[in-house]
Amino acid sequence: MRIALMPGTTNVVRFPVEQRAKPSLDLLYDIAPDSREVSLVAEAFGLEEAPLDIRHDADCEMAERIRICQWPETVAERNAALGELLKPLVERAVAACREAASAAVRSDDAAERFVNAQSRGGYWLLPLEDESTLRANEAARLLIEAHAASDAAFGAARAIRLAKAGEAWRPFNLEEEANSLFFGSGDRRLGSVGEK
């Protein structure tokens, strides 16, 4: 096991809370892979990235599932039932992120063993190099899978959030979201591309 220190310290060991905390959407936001990193890793290893519309598809599928189901009358019971819909997706995504993080540590350890053997002039370099390559490929694959699972959970969470708030589901529109974020409900709007 690799020991990580708290940032800015030399003697305070960081406990990996994200590896032990109960799976939740907040935890998933903290540990989900960055899409930019995933793109770079996929390109570097020659792997196919997860489709870009996973989040949108999961949002649409969950909205349809919510629409066709019968829900309890009370708000508390309905919200609890909606939360149960999201729970397995979040648990799967958190488990995938944890596995990807563990694979990255195993990959780093294998690469370190190989580099140390190279610098010392060891004899068993080829098996160490093979293990390092194998671990790196495994870590890259698991990172992409974790990103896909996280996107699916985030997409479904959007539909559930709207249902819990009692709002009608509508497809995600980046321009509308940007307008509401920057200008609120005022008259000023961002123009479309090419519009003056």
What is the phi/psi pair of residue 172, to 5°? Answer: -65, 130
- Residue 106 has a pLDDT of 94
In-domain check, residue 99: yes
Q: Among the ranges 59-73, 138-152, 170-184, which has the highest mean pLDDT value?
A: 138-152
pLDDT at 76 over 60: yes
pLDDT at 52 over 80: yes
Domain of residue 59, residue span? 19-41+50-167
At 5, is the secondary structure helix, strand, or coil?
Answer: strand
pLDDT at 146 over 60: yes
* Token couple for 3: 């020991």
Residue type, 120: R
In-domain check, residue 12: no
* Token couple for 181: 């974020």
Mean pLDDT score, 119-130: 85
In-domain check, residue 103: yes
Q: What is the mean pLDDT of the chain?
A: 87
Mean pLDDT score, 158-169: 90
Transcribe 75-125 into DSSP letters: HHHHHHHHHHHHHHHHHHHHHHHHHHHHHHHHHHHHHHHHHHHHHHT-S-H
Contacts 24+ apart (CB under 8 A), 180-185: none
pLDDT at 196 over 50: no
- Residue 192 has a pLDDT of 45
- Residue 190 has a pLDDT of 45
CB within 8 Å of 135: residues ≥ 6 apart: 103, 106, 107, 109, 110, 111
In-domain check, residue 147: yes
Percent of the chain scoring above 90 in pLDDT: 62
In-domain check, residue 14: no
Q: How many domains does the chain have?
A: 1
CA–CA separation, 63 and 35 (whole Å): 24
pLDDT at 9 over 90: no
16 vs 53: which has the higher pLDDT = 53
CA–CA separation, 87 and 73 (whole Å): 21
Residue 189: pLDDT band with limits 50, 70, 90 = very low
In-domain check, residue 11: no
Residue 2: pLDDT band with limits 50, 70, 90 = low
pLDDT at 184 over 80: no
In-domain check, residue 187: no
- Residue 185 has a pLDDT of 56
In-domain check, residue 126: yes
